Structure 1
Amino acid sequence: MADTGTERKTTVQAVAARLWNGRWLLAAGIVAVAAAYGFAGMSVYVVLLACAVLLAAAMLPTGGASQSIQSDAAIEASGLQRLTGEYLAAAVADPLIIFDRTATIVHANAAAFAAFGGIAPGLSLPLKFRAPEMQALLDGVLSGSVASDAVDYTEKLPVERAYRVSASSVGHATDLFVLVFKDQSETRRIDRMRADFIANASHELRTPLASISGFIETLRGPARNDPAAREQFLQIMQNQTGRMARLIDDLLSLSRLEMKPYLKPGTEVDLRQTIDSVIDSLGPLARENGVVIERDYAEGPLDVPGDRDELFQVFENLLENACKYGQPGGRVTVSIAGGEAGPEPGIDVTIRDYGPGIPEEHIPRITERFYRVDVESSRTQKGTGLGLSIVKHILTRHNARLSIKSEVGKGAAFTVHLPAG
């Protein structure tokens, strides 16, 4: 009912405005008709008809632009009058809190309830947000020293979240203020990952560079005329440059994988043929480490959708690690079997070694970039610390996953779960 009354009032105001704008035209027309009636003896019906025409003409706008502006303004005013602060707050995806001059909450949207909980009208903001930066933000806005301000705020519970909080007054002379919390947690996490990645990559490259630089200095000085030392140092330098080359190759592979979108199932990959190729290519490494590679394949077709080169890289990394770090066990088993029963059947490929195994506390972090269970052993085996991170990224692109089971002294098993369709 209130909306109907408002619209009727707006219409009446618009009609009155049009009559007022055309008042001189209407008056002049009526005078002219009256004069003609007096001098020419016109019928009273003709006079009334002429007045009606003049009245309709007066209702027409004096200009098309004026009519459009007035019409748009009337529609806008009518629409905004139907909006409330509650509706506007609900339309904001970020947590939003409206409070008064006493720093008491007047309204909070659903996002604020989900983020902070325990928020209700009448609650004191300084009691809810006790951090010094939030207290300073509220004091500055409420005192009127600043019209708006923003600070960084970290919420510790239930999980740690980082926000950019902005505060400002609402309207003019309303004595209401608003807090908007912009979640920066994901941005901060990515920044930390980027900084850690750069630091780790720099460290990994700096070590062989320092070694090469030291040997070059020695060859140009004390070992200048020592053929035996020169041969030994050149071999070490070659090994270090090879290590840097492998690290750069892995960094480029990881970068390319991160830039690629998720793989759309298209081509089929024969797992039996792909894994046989991996085993053949790593045969010399297995013999060098005294490891025998055993096969245990399920019967029937073993095809999965995916990219053959990328899956080859996955199994090559896993089998190479098994041959290097599971060397004391003397053998590595590669098995292919049907996945767990369910609405989406799959195929599981397990590469198991019988070496020293991996302590349980290391398993959750083993696929992180540059994370090593044993740094010295990894460098001795010419590892870059990026192999399992590359495996994880490739499997994510294939909508697959990696599970790791290990027991100290009994080896480790890495299982790749691939969708079959």
Structure 2
Amino acid sequence: MNEPGVKEAPRQLPLARVVALALAAFSAIAFFDESARWVAVAAGSLFLVACLALSRDTAVPRRERGTRRRQATLWPDSGTKSVVEAMAEPAFLIDRNLLLRFQNSVSERVFGAMALGDAISLRFRSPELIAAIETAVRERKTTHAALVEGRFAERSWSVEILPVPVGQGGEPAFFLLLFRDRTAERRIEQMRTDFIANASHELRTPLASLMGFIETLQGPAKDDAQARLRFLDIMRDQAGRMSRLIDDLLSLSRIEMKRHVPVESIVDLAEILDDVREALSPLASETGVTIEMDPETAPLAVAGERDELVQVFSNLVENACKYGESGGRVTIQLLETRERGRHFVDVAVRDFGPGIPPEHVPRLTERFYRVDVGSSRGKRGTGLGLSIVRNILIRHRARLLVHSVVGEGSTFTARFPALDKTS
């Protein structure tokens, strides 16, 4: 009995039987009608010659016919299916005609179920992948291909096409398509490339400015005292910009290296926030902003490292003063809250400035990401502050929540797990 989905070819009358029947008919005519004997003999001879010529062009040896019939109805055995099913990655078995013969359950979850016997090209339309499969089938060797799928959430796959070996050196009847997810690796590589490009760009701009002023001071302005003083002030600002960027890069690197190290000390958030407010009061006065505690906070402790948390809240309050200065004030709230039955401690820093458009909010903690590049650089921003904040909070098992309404302001909330009061 054939496997489901495979149709048998219609039975054909053997050529030898057709010839025998025709000769018998001509012989009968010649026997009963003597006047038509020579006509029958001539017609029979011509028919025999035509049949022999036709058989030479179209006949298939018995062994080859049997092989083709077996290939058309070939399906993997249960042992092969069990091995493919046990694989942790999506896997497909196809035959030499690129028809699907089996897929494991992982591939069904990832790519969806396919009908057995369908062409694999009905699901995967990548020319590179199909060409690699055809090469593997034609040359009976392992090939590789890359596949990128997904319109909104892009996923990258590395596909390996392997002939399934058979005994005694026979030709492989099946080929295994093994998919390996390379999405995370691709994203990390893209992040590394973007980081190098952004860091180089951020350093190149002030460095080019410094080189230009140095050449000017050595040439046309070497005897101009007023120009020299003005250029030196600009050069100091550009050098300070590079210094801040390098400091932030080193800080981010140190934080990322120990992000997995657990925090063992206990700190008072109210005390840290008072220190941050006092340290940033000159900046607040310069920008015309008042920093308020709303309400005045009582001591509230969490697991944390003091210096790192000072850096977190200094970044958040400084950003609120710089980018929300039009609102005239910045408020800091320290309060306990509950989420899904668990206790947390929130520190919310709110400004009343122009707010952030919603399309920018998900990307605020990316390295070098800026909502307004010109405004950020004019306020001496490096584009790394919120990335540093995010990494410090990850180490403290905390997270950053951002809520912003255009025209009303933004609120950045650091949410910490509350201490277990029963311990």
User: Do both proteins adopt the same fold according to a TM-score greater than 0.5, normalized to the shorter chain?
Assistant: yes
TM-score by length of 2: 0.76
Deviations 1:184-206 (A, max 9, x none): 11111111111111111111000
**Structure 1 residues not aligned, in runs of 5+:** 1-81
- 1:148 pairs with 2:120: no
Q: Does 1:169 align with 2:163?
A: yes
Q: What's the counterpart of residue 102 of structure 1?
A: 97
Q: Which residue of 1 aligns with 2:51?
A: none
1:209 to 1:381, Cα distance in 2 relative to 1, 3 A: same
Aligned equivalents of 2:151 and 2:100: distance in 1?
Answer: 20
CA contact (8 A) 1:271 1:302 kept: yes
Picking from 100, 113, 118, the partner of 2:113 is 118
Deviation string for 1:129-150 (max 9, x for gaps)? Answer: 221112211211222x241111
Match of 1:394 in 2: 392
CA distance in structure 1 between the aligned counterparts of 2:290 and 2:223, rounded to whole angstroms: 45
**What per-residue deviation string (whole Å, max 9, x for no partner) do you get for residues 355-410 of structure 1?**
22222222222221111111111111100011011111111221211112222222
Amino acid of the residue matched to residue 169 of structure 1?
P
Distance in structure 1 (CA, Å) of the matches to 2:152 and 2:351: 41
2:93 counterpart SS class: strand
1:303-382 aligned at under 5 Å gives the runs: 303-382=301-380
TM-score, length basis structure 1: 0.77
The 1:152–1:377 alpha-carbon spacing in structure 2 relative to 1, beyond 3 Å, is: same
1:86 to 81, 85, 102: 81
SS in 1 for 2:146: strand
In 2, Cα distance between equivalents of 1:207 and 1:117 = 50
Distance in 1, Cα, partners of 2:340 & 2:261: 22
- Superimposed CA distance per residue, residues 80-109 of structure 1 (whole angstroms, 9 cap, x where no aligned partner): xx9922222132211111112222222111
Name 1:207's counterpart in structure 2: 205
Q: Deviations over 1:145-166 (max 9, x none)?
A: 2411111112236842211111
Cα distance 1:159–1:118, how it changes in 2: closer, same or farther (>3 A)? farther
In 2, Cα distance between equivalents of 1:299 and 1:331: 18
Structure-2 change in CA distance of 1:267 and 1:194 (3 Å) = same
Point out the more displaced range, 156-165 or 249-258: 156-165
Instruction: For residue 338 of structure 2, give the secondary structure of its aligned residue in structure 1.
Output: coil
Cα RMSD of the aligned pairs, angstroms, is 1.9
Q: Quickly say closer, same or farther: Cα 1:263–1:127, change in 2 above 3 A.
A: same
Q: Secondary structure at the match of 1:339?
A: strand
- Asked if 1:408 is matched to 2:403, the reply is no
Instruction: Note the 1:128-147 alignment, pairs <5 A.
Output: 128-143=123-138, 145-147=139-141
User: How far apart, CA to CA, are the structure 2 residues paired with 1:416 and 1:248?
Assistant: 26
Query: How far 1:298 sits from its partner (Å)?
Result: 6.6
Q: Is the 8 A contact 1:298 1:338 kept in 2?
A: no
**Cα distance 1:157–1:111, how it changes in 2: closer, same or farther (>3 A)?**
farther
Please state whether the residue corresponding to 1:345 is helix, strand or coil.
Answer: strand
Q: Write the distance in 2 (CA, Å) between the matches of 1:299 and 1:225.
A: 59
Q: Measured at CA, do residues 341 and 258 of structure 1 come closer, stay the same or move farther in structure 2, by a change above 3 Å?
A: closer
| Other-structure match for 1:295 | 293
Cα distance in 1, alignment partners of residues 184 and 110 from structure 2 = 15
**Paired residue type of 1:245:** S
Letter in 2 for 1:247: L
Residue 254 of structure 2: aligned partner: 256
- Whole-angstrom distance in 1 between the partners of 2:232 and 2:297: 51
Supply the AA of the counterpart residue of 2:99: T
Q: Would you say the 8 A contact 2:263–2:395 is kept in 1? A: no
Give the partner amino acid of 2:309. Answer: L
CA gap of 1:239–1:132, structure 2 versus 1, over 3 A, is same
Checking the alignment, whether the CA contact within 8 Å between 1:336 and 1:348 is kept in structure 2 is yes
* Counterpart position of 1:191: 189
Q: Is the CA contact 1:262–1:398 (under 8 Å) kept in the aligned structure 2?
A: no
Pair 418,263 (structure 1): closer, same or farther in 2 beyond 3 Å: farther
Q: 1:303 Cα deviation (Å)?
A: 0.5
Distance in structure 2 (CA, Å) of the matches to 1:245 and 1:259: 21
Distance 1:158 1:217, change over 3 A: closer
* Identical columns (%): 50
| In structure 2, distance between residues paired with 1:240 and 1:408 | 32
Q: 1:180 Cα deviation (Å)?
A: 0.7
The one-letter code sitting in structure 1 at the alignment partner of 2:200 is S
Aligned runs of 1:44-63 on 2, under 5 Å?
Answer: none
Q: Secondary structure at the match of 2:221?
A: coil
Q: Which amino acid aligns with 2:142?
A: S
Counterpart of 1:267 in structure 2: which amino acid?
A: S
**What residue identity is the alignment partner of 1:89?**
V
What SS does the aligned partner of 2:125 have? coil
Q: 1:266 is paired with a residue of what secondary structure?
A: coil
Amino acid at match of 1:290: G
What is the CA–CA distance in structure 2 between the aligned matches of 1:123 and 1:395, rounded to whole Å? 51
| Deviation digits for residues 237-288 of structure 1 (CA, Å, limit 9, x no counterpart) | 0110100010011111112222224342421110001111111111111112
Residue range with higher mean Cα deviation, 234-243 or 116-125 = 116-125
Q: Give the number of equivalent residue pairs.
A: 339
**2:240 — aligned with what?**
242
